[in-house]
Amino acid sequence: MNKLNEKNVLLEVQDLKVHFEMKAQRQWFWQPPKTLKAVDGVSLRLYEGETLGVVGESGCGKSTFARAIIGLVKASSGRVAWLGRDLLGMSHKQWRDVRSDIQMIFQDPLASLNPRMTIGKIIAEPLQSCYPALSRQQVKEKVKAMMARVGLLPNLINRYPHEFSGGQCQRIGIARALILEPKLIICDEPVSALDVSIQAQVVNLLQTLQREMGLSLIFIAHDLAVVKHISDRVLVMYLGHAVELGACSEVYSNPLHPYTRALMSAVPVPDPDKERGKTFQLLEGELPSPINPPSGCVFRTRCPIAGPECAAARPLLKGHFRHAVSCLKVDPI
């Protein structure tokens, strides 16, 4: 990873919260609606050319966090700054001007493509929206060049999504995201729906394109081995909170938070002898509801080292750039 400094911060997120009112959960109509805290105070910085991996179990708020950054989900409070400009306070027109710099790749490759459009029109749509002055021939040439860049034959430009495999559909999604030459790509579990061999191809393609185009990536995934392979830094989320953030090598070799340790212990080791001798750190109890999270530290009901003080105060990320942890009982190195 290149040396990162304050001068090349692309994205800065400060105390981002995404809360939803659950009116359907009320027993009586006069009762106030309950609040689902999908994301509850996450802060981070993303640097130019960096890949930030985001991990955590299902329901921890990873996808909601990513969608709030790009404006697909409305944030309740906080600040999201892109190159110093506050995205949350922008008008629709201002968002359109920034949209070409930030694009997204979705989890389900086929469901994210319009089945009534050819792949040529799908990839060309962002160009036609952001650069209407381009001629039809210019758009077609750019689409064919991008198709070749992501490993699709340009002569397939007039085919429809259902004629392609899952891996090819994800390449179409990647081409659509990159056609505007953005600075940041948010990858929302882009390989989880693909076969293992295809996953490797897509991850390698993203890394190649990142080097060639100078991209920054936010890579959301459940597969910790994939995240380790592609990421420079890792953010670990639990129940809408950031519990650990640091350099990939630091987090994987020396996880500090009890939740991170449990996640890392579940990563399979390719050596059979080491795998058999490995100690698993199983989590006790059920995942709490984000509608009624525990007081203080949200992980305390499943934490093996929790004490009375963990119920009284909510821990914040403490530490330094290479490794920070959100735990009252653990000090960063």
C-alpha span between 186 and 309 (Å, rounded): 37
Q: For residue 25, is it within any domain?
A: yes
pLDDT tens for the chain, residues 1 to 333? 444 444 589 999 999 999 998 876 666 666 778 889 999 999 999 999 999 999 998 889 999 999 999 999 999 999 999 998 999 988 888 888 888 999 999 988 889 999 999 999 999 999 998 899 999 999 999 999 999 999 999 999 999 999 999 999 999 999 999 999 999 999 999 998 888 889 999 999 999 999 999 999 999 998 888 999 999 999 999 999 999 999 999 999 999 999 999 998 877 777 777 767 777 777 888 888 888 899 999 999 999 999 999 999 899 999 888 899 999 988 886
N residues, the chain: 333
pLDDT at 268: 75
Q: For residue 43, is it within any domain?
A: yes
Q: For residue 206, is it within any domain?
A: yes
C-alpha span between 328 and 94 (Å, rounded): 41
pLDDT at 24: 66
Compute φ and ψ for 16, nearest 5 degrees. -75, 130
pLDDT at 267: 77
Q: What range defines the domain where residue 20 resides? A: 7-101+182-249
Q: For residue 172, is it within any domain?
A: no
Q: For residue 152, is it within any domain?
A: no
Q: For residue 23, which of 295, 291, 240 has the smallest C-alpha distance? A: 291
| Other Cβ atoms closer than 10 A to 112 | 19
Alpha helices, DSSP H, located in 179-278:
196-213, 224-230, 248-253, 258-265, 272-277
Rounded alpha-carbon distances, angstroms, from residue 185 to 68, 302, 330: 14, 34, 33
Domain with residue 61: its CATH number is 3.40.50.300
Q: For residue 221, is it within any domain?
A: yes
> Would strands 9-22 and 184-188 be described as parallel, antiparallel, or unpaired?
unpaired
Helix (H, G, I), strand (E, B) or coil at 177: helix
Q: Count of domains in the chain? A: 1
pLDDT tens digits for 189-241?
999 888 888 999 999 999 999 999 999 999 999 888 899 999 999 999 999 99
**Sheet of strand 77-82: strand arrangement:** 34-47, 9-22, 77-82, 85-86
pTM, entire model: 0.90
The residue with tokens 């994301």 is: 39
Q: For residue 327, is it within any domain?
A: no
C-alpha span between 39 and 290 (Å, rounded): 9
Q: For residue 255, is it within any domain?
A: no
